Structure 1
């Protein structure tokens, strides 16, 4: 379904979320009782009640964020100064606060725990911008990464995201006010997408983190096979063979990384892998796993700028080398690993 125009999203979707949150909150006891009554009929410990609660929290979270963003918009002169450093910083602070609230609820409701191992964007290259390349697998993994960058490492992310995320009004409003790019990942727009990525990665300062997901989408076995087939259709047999040897990740698409490296040659590179959400590929998987009771492990690897290859093909091979390393780490650290 095509994304509605921005004016419609602002005039209808955003107020609609606030109104819906008000209705849900004012009738909360009724819905909670219904969810509690259904819980004994469903396998899992209070699964309907937990699902209702986290959905309710997210709805109220979205509505509260929209109201706070509206206040910032008014305070900035109805958007006139929204791009000023002070208001940009205010938006990052707001994002950090709301992400802390969201993950506090996730820990309490879903029994979700996050551990970080390896070097992080603060200790790896202090005082330098970072390009952060992360695998994409499982619901909410991008939220976890941005939460970590903002709240643990005090970074200001610039993110390349799918345009479909703008269906969420709070994400739509907040991230469109900050230096981010929503893109439609289609082969027909490949060159334009790469150009936008390069533009976004230009002018990073010492606390910026440029975030990109080179796989272009969440991992599923079907997408993995499609990515391999696409490499073969382009005549890239060697890359296809390398992708076939990686069982837990999609073949990375190097265009965005190449553009970012060209635009930010002084930036370090952080590779990020994670496990814990790997088996949740569909809505049915998420339902089955609730309550999650998950330990998510995030692994960071840091590469200083002087160790980044300079040639185009060298960089592509380097990316595939790192993705193979990430694949091996995932295989060794998955929940079902021997």
Structure 2
């Protein structure tokens, strides 16, 4: 199954390998540069079915650090288009982008919040910092929440101008959307807080706004944290219910990660530790899912698909170590995968 195609709208992936979005902290003013060109281009040469560009801020305050990527102006869009064009012209890979807003977890460096003079005032649904020692974030008004929805919509429009095949909305890991979803970080009493229906409203408004920009040539994924490992917090049952609703709002795949919203949460980490969350969402919500989290072996990835636990395999650290994991896996399994014609003399199966 790893080397079988799969389709989302009119976007066909040649195999089930996905480069998971991973921050590189290597931008100035949110601009992609030569490092990013080589970084993403090399994974395309390695046969990866889908490459997803790192968390990209929909506005300056949406970044995690001063060196994170952005897509709020024309110059940033043009730099990203150069990468997209190379991937399309020199491989069979599709390429996506993760649209993100860090919320209260922004204005940091090395996981430490930097002074507002060097960074910016963070925003959140409620006046609760991620860590007790951090600044109280600015609480978004209802009107400001609507502005944030428009930031995502405009970013999606720019992503289409750059030529991306997939847009992923980042609703996981304790960033702004996740902050709204969780009753532990969202204690609002207006239409964006309180009940489950109110707490998911911000995400649904973003999904609907982004979908207004999309057509059948661009697929829409959403990344969520299946659980945040905290009592009375966001859990897998909430994730299943949300996934059902997202499917009805035109989301093509749920990328299921976990954690990130509660400082000091206890997480048991082992190979494939997040796969059960993807499986539960897939099978209970009847929606396509992506599995992520210490998936490092070809056999392991194939078994996840064969068992029906997920539809795509998102690989993070392992694809940093080995940009050619997809094509090497095809040698191992005697399957076909894209291999650059310039490298054909090295295409061997043993």
TM-score w.r.t. length of structure 2 = 0.32
Higher helix share: 1
